Copies of this chain bind each other. A is one copy, B any other.
């Protein structure tokens, strides 16, 4: 094995790597976080570095200007170590904004203030009870531990079996007596058994918070909630730092096999901790008052969180290590809340249909409807569930992150300055940004709109290729045909544009999802017309323009009244579980009742996918209600 040293500056960090290692891998080993949206595919062009000393191979791409190449710039993901190196990381390559969770994720703050259920009685997974115990006397000298247990049962008006760790039990006599037998108890539910997680002096029962996390492949969203009022206090989001190991979970699983599951776990936990810190700092909530974290996400993300092996998820016959892991202490995986706080990882269905989907089924209530509903969760994996109160079937399709604004040249998350709407006004293509700010990039809803607009204006054909000379806004930027949405000081290359390969990514994504819906309906001997409710979930679901989504063939051409935006049902379902123990039982039975259908076993999926690789579809009659003008 031939080893080289790579020194990065200005960090002045040196790592030893094998010859042939990419600079992207080397920089991740050095634990320096850089901008990288495409996961090392050489697409986003954001991992620029300057090789100051030593020899490399690869690295010259159209993403670099002639001037940059002269000055020694390379793309870290396309450049491989040949000798000892000294590498400079330019300011703009460093992921500054990654260090902190986005504080302006307006879209993720768009939540119901209070989640009230008509169905369930409020019963958070962790509760704080202020209790005044009867003081011991000869007439009542019950032991401390049992005295407390009995008082809790009395207060909760239920009898429940209770556990307490040895550490707290050892301190219990002192805590009780120092506080004159007036204490606050934090109680967590672990399946059927209650756990006394903490006992502290005085009355701190008012301060009981939880964090609800949607662990998306591309975007991680966290909500801070008050367990007493069931109110959501704030929400934040960041791009998933694991992106450095691949845009899709499969690539990350391969990395995990090479580097160990801990590496991927570390990045995810770091992101979650960043979100928690940002949420609590802003709202002056103490970490010790966060008593639980409830996480939903696809199965691979769930495995990364717990450090479980993902080896068999991506190999036939696609078997997860666990889809219903038990509650753990959050500290056990490195999540920084109350040191005894609990981590609930929600139950998923299979290796490829995770707890984000069970949460979605719970949140939409489709599991108790008489009529047939379809739920589509638009994320890096598109998950689709069809069913009613008697049966539920789920599939998963690998869509890629284009619809979330990643793997797109000027893509960005839906935050301040993102182009979120593109529309035709008086024959011209116009746009609006989040917050009305100067455009900084384009997010998922904007991209769908843009593709639809380009198609309607006939600037692209039904295959997604630009039509020669159809618009003066079409230009070759870094060798790729692009449509300029916005230029900066007349410099179109520095502005916001959409490339032909961006459009290709969008078409691939929508074809994967649409094809999966078609296959599932076929297996169930159903048609889109049999669907009574069509739930659209996803972090950015609410912002999709339905007409445009139909124009590009992402959604079917059905009665518009059947569509219902349900937003981030992963978060919503997880919140229901956090607030209502009955909902936890429900989601567990949903997991057991839902059948997983694996597209890998579907001989006709490729055909359906290919048919959907046109705008809107090969079979144009499927979209006969839609006007393209």
Measured in the bound complex, the distance between the Cα atoms of B321 and A136 in whole Å is: 12
- Select A141's contact among B142, B173, B306, B318, beta carbons within 8 Å: B318
Taking a contact as CB atoms under 8 Å apart, the answer to whether B317 and A136 are in contact is yes
**How distant is A422 from chain B, measured CB to nearest CB, in Å?**
41
Contacts of A312 in B (CB 8 A): 136, 144, 173
In chain A, residues 317-334, which have Cβ atoms closer than 8 Å to a Cβ of chain B?
317-326, 328, 332-333
Measured in the bound complex, the distance between the Cα atoms of B307 and A325 in whole Å is: 31
- Select A324's contact among B136, B145, B261, B600, beta carbons within 8 Å: B145
By beta carbon, the residue of chain B nearest A318 is: B141
Binary contact track A332-368/B, C-beta < 8 Å → 1, others 0: 1100000000000000001100000000000000000
Taking a contact as CB atoms under 8 Å apart, the answer to whether B307 and A170 are in contact is yes
Measured in the bound complex, the distance between the Cα atoms of B349 and A146 in whole Å is: 11
Contacts of A164 in B (CB 8 A): 322, 326
Cβ-based interface call for A372 (8 A): no
Measured in the bound complex, the distance between the Cα atoms of B196 and A325 in whole Å is: 12
In chain A, residues 513-553, which have Cβ atoms closer than 8 Å to a Cβ of chain B?
none
Binary contact track A101-139/B, C-beta < 8 Å → 1, others 0: 000000000000000000000000000000000001110
Cβ-based interface call for A561 (8 A): no
Cβ-based interface call for A166 (8 A): yes
Taking a contact as CB atoms under 8 Å apart, the answer to whether B144 and A322 are in contact is yes
- Select A170's contact among B136, B190, B308, B320, beta carbons within 8 Å: B308
Taking a contact as CB atoms under 8 Å apart, the answer to whether A138 and B316 are in contact is yes
Taking a contact as CB atoms under 8 Å apart, the answer to whether A308 and B192 are in contact is no
**How distant is A584 from chain B, measured CB to nearest CB, in Å?**
12
**How distant is A130 from chain B, measured CB to nearest CB, in Å?**
22
Taking a contact as CB atoms under 8 Å apart, the answer to whether B145 and A328 are in contact is no
Taking a contact as CB atoms under 8 Å apart, the answer to whether B170 and A309 are in contact is yes
- Select A144's contact among B141, B166, B320, B350, beta carbons within 8 Å: B320
Taking a contact as CB atoms under 8 Å apart, the answer to whether B193 and A145 are in contact is no
Taking a contact as CB atoms under 8 Å apart, the answer to whether B326 and A136 are in contact is no
Cβ-based interface call for A1 (8 A): no
Contacts of A317 in B (CB 8 A): 136-138, 141
Taking a contact as CB atoms under 8 Å apart, the answer to whether A309 and B173 are in contact is yes
In chain A, residues 158-204, which have Cβ atoms closer than 8 Å to a Cβ of chain B?
161, 163-164, 166, 169-170, 172-174, 190-193
Cβ-based interface call for A468 (8 A): no
Cβ-based interface call for A431 (8 A): no
Measured in the bound complex, the distance between the Cα atoms of B167 and A328 in whole Å is: 12
Taking a contact as CB atoms under 8 Å apart, the answer to whether A169 and B138 are in contact is no
By beta carbon, the residue of chain B nearest A328 is: B166
- Select A319's contact among B144, B191, B318, B323, beta carbons within 8 Å: B144
Contacts of A328 in B (CB 8 A): 166
Taking a contact as CB atoms under 8 Å apart, the answer to whether A320 and B598 are in contact is no
Contacts of A350 in B (CB 8 A): 141-143
Most buried by B among A308, A323, A328: A308
Cβ-based interface call for A423 (8 A): no
**How distant is A303 from chain B, measured CB to nearest CB, in Å?**
10
**How distant is A346 from chain B, measured CB to nearest CB, in Å?**
14
**How distant is A581 from chain B, measured CB to nearest CB, in Å?**
14
Known A-B contacts A309-B173, A312-B173, A321-B173; the reply to A332 vs B193 at CB < 8 A is no
Measured in the bound complex, the distance between the Cα atoms of B178 and A311 in whole Å is: 14
Known A-B contacts A309-B174, A311-B173; the reply to A320 vs B143 at CB < 8 A is yes
Taking a contact as CB atoms under 8 Å apart, the answer to whether A191 and B169 are in contact is no
**How distant is A599 from chain B, measured CB to nearest CB, in Å?**
11
- Select A166's contact among B173, B306, B311, B320, beta carbons within 8 Å: B306
**How distant is A114 from chain B, measured CB to nearest CB, in Å?**
31
Cβ-based interface call for A601 (8 A): yes
Contacts of A138 in B (CB 8 A): 316-318, 598, 600-601
Contacts of A320 in B (CB 8 A): 143-145
By beta carbon, the residue of chain B nearest A349 is: B143
Taking a contact as CB atoms under 8 Å apart, the answer to whether B322 and A145 are in contact is yes
By beta carbon, the residue of chain B nearest A352 is: B141
A–B pairs, 23, beta carbons within 8 Å: A136-B312, A137-B317, A138-B601, A141-B317, A141-B318, A142-B350, A143-B322, A143-B350, A144-B320, A144-B322, A145-B323, A146-B323, A164-B326, A166-B332, A169-B325, A170-B308, A170-B309, A173-B312, A173-B321, A174-B309, A191-B193, A192-B192, A193-B193
- Name 8 extra pairs, CB < 8 A, besides A138-B600, A172-B322: A138-B317, A143-B323, A145-B323, A146-B322, A161-B191, A170-B307, A173-B312, A193-B193
Q: In the A-B complex, list the 5 residue pairs whose CB atoms are closest, starting with the nearest.
A: A145-B322, A143-B320, A143-B323, A141-B317, A163-B326
